[in-house]
Amino acid sequence: MSASAFLSWPEAHLQYTTGMRMIYNRIASLQKNVRFRIMTKQIPLLLLIDGNSLVHRAFHALPVLTISKTGEMVNAVQGFASTLLKVLNEIKPTHWAIAFDRPTPTFRHEKFEDYKAQRPRAPDELVSQIKRVHQLVDAFHIPTFEIDGYEADDVLGTLSRQASQLGIDTIIVTGDNDMLQVVSPRTKVLAPRRTLSDILTYDETEVQRKYGISPQQLADFKALTGDPSDNIPGIPGIGDKTAARLLQQFGSIEGIYAHIDQVIPERLRPLLLNHKARVLQNKELAVIVTDVPVTLDLDNCKVTTYDRQQVVDLFRELGFVQLLSRLPEKIEKAPAPTVSHIAPHKNYHILNASQAIDELVARLSTTTEIAVDVETSSKEAMAAELVGISIAPAAGEAYYIPVGHRGLSQIVQLPLSQVISQLKPLLEDARIGKIAHNGKFDMMVLAEYGIDLQNLFFDTMLAAYLLGEKPLNLKALAFKKLGIEMTPITDIIGSGAKQLSMAMAPIEQVANYACADADITLRLKTVLQSELDREKLWRLFHEVEMPLVPVLAAMERHGVAL
């Protein structure tokens, strides 16, 4: 994959009308070979804070505390500050953000008039402390999210989903067990228990241990049992154990109703049927939505140097002298990940067995999109020999199939013709969207080996070009958009007189290099697609620019008759 500048549709159309040969010459003159790979010692970690939950919990958990001179109550502020310092010092996140509820009705109130109707109005002693909490958040430079119509839970769920799509681990600090719904392999929840210093970490195993069901089933669980804190009524006669058992057996409330005649004991059947409408509504209220109109901006969410003096002054004003010793002298700006020696990634794999490739193809046949990258012996597509193919089906997961390595290695390669035959159905499957960085190059190389790459629907370099990004190479985009520094190709093949062909580089090193290339391309797609939508460029990209890519690829391969 080479990093080439793309032509916009108007420019291409103009040159087409004056002679297609000019397009070919223009493309050829812009060909470059700037190739980079992800390699970092630092793993990004996003800390998400449920502001309202922590403030409320602190207010009710801590004894009354007032400023002696003014009588202002500050126990909730102190508890919030103490928890914030604990997670900051122990977790050491690279990125963070906080969400607060808005003082306006949400979509849940529109669905159910009595939603949280039983809750008393927050006491003035608590409300007065919210302003102080915001002062503290501002001093620490923590990005704040508040969205009308949604609760903080929904905002945090959306941000954690976006982080997961980027391959970033997330820790959510909250006192609200509803957030356990979003626990996943990449998302954990820290929940204070009896005291603010007693914090339990919930991963998928811990959720299963406590409730007997998966995180994804918690909304169904709440739909059956209800939630008095939200004024959501459950089904009379169905408690926690019964609800968990039903979900273990049928998976979801939809599964329960689809097999209602199999529910035992039989006395539960009329209860479930008579309250079906309530149960379905309960689930709508209980589910944390993850499509709130917010965007996780990694640059804006980096943990940067905070205003220590402002925090010190605020602590002194509030009488939090005991917290001063816990303040870090400074929060170093989240350092740019440093370039390191090539090291294997725990979820990057070399496939050199026929059965393994068949299993991958079969598994990916039902997926919706994959990132694809080719490794070649040359930057010139028409002269390049295929060295290997990498495929990334998910962020942090990638596979490399070597086919043209000629250097010494203990790894055996399958015959090129066999690999092409096995991968051809996957790469030509138009139902599966393909993502690439400069997909024209990948398309041209694969075409030389009889593979017609179908449904190349997203090219990260072309998307960056439309968004006005400069430069367009993968290294610059990964650093700017994902906060990841990538290793140059020279770390793999050297430079100058000692430069190797990619075919002569060790398979193990090239595999990690190629897998990272596909992986980072997949992650960039999520960020760039969101930016295209925001800038109202998606239609131009999807309907005009992307369809032009295979046209230009074919013109370069076959030329244009004049």
| pLDDT value of position 485 | 60
Cα separation of 414 and 419, whole Å?
7
What six digits make up the tokens of 415? 């015959």
How far are the Cα atoms of 358, 362, 370, 419, 515 from residue 425, in angstroms, in the given order? Answer: 11, 10, 14, 11, 21
CA neighbor of 198 nearest in space, from 102, 112, 295, 82? 82
| pLDDT value of position 421 | 97
- Walk me through the domains of the chain, giving residue ranges and CATH numbers: 9-39+342-558 (3.30.420.10), 45-208+289-326 (3.40.50.1010)
Cα separation of 301 and 48, whole Å?
10
Burial class of residue 309, CB neighbours in 10 A (0-12, 13-18, 19+): exposed
Give the pTM.
0.55
* Ordered per-residue pLDDT tens for the chain, 562 residues: 444 334 444 444 334 333 434 433 433 333 332 222 233 345 789 999 999 999 988 998 888 888 766 889 999 999 999 999 988 888 889 999 999 998 887 877 677 776 666 666 778 889 899 999 999 999 999 999 999 989 999 999 999 999 999 889 999 999 888 999 999 999 999 987 766 567 789 999 999 999 999 999 999 999 999 887 777 888 888 999 999 999 999 999 999 999 999 999 999 999 999 999 989 988 988 899 999 999 999 889 998 768 888 888 888 888 887 788 788 765 644 333 333 223 345 699 999 999 999 999 999 999 999 999 999 999 898 889 999 999 999 999 999 999 999 887 778 899 999 999 999 999 999 999 999 999 999 999 999 999 999 999 999 999 999 998 877 888 778 867 886 766 678 888 888 888 889 999 999 999 999 999 999 999 999 999 999 999 999 999 999 999 999 999 999 988 765 5
Strand pairing report for 199-202 and 187-192: antiparallel
| pLDDT value of position 42 | 55
DSSP output for 139-185: HTT--EE--TBS-HHHHHHHHHHHHHHTT-EEEEE-S-GGGGGG-BT
| pLDDT value of position 490 | 83
Burial class of residue 91, CB neighbours in 10 A (0-12, 13-18, 19+): middle
Neighbours of 28 (CB within 10 A): 12
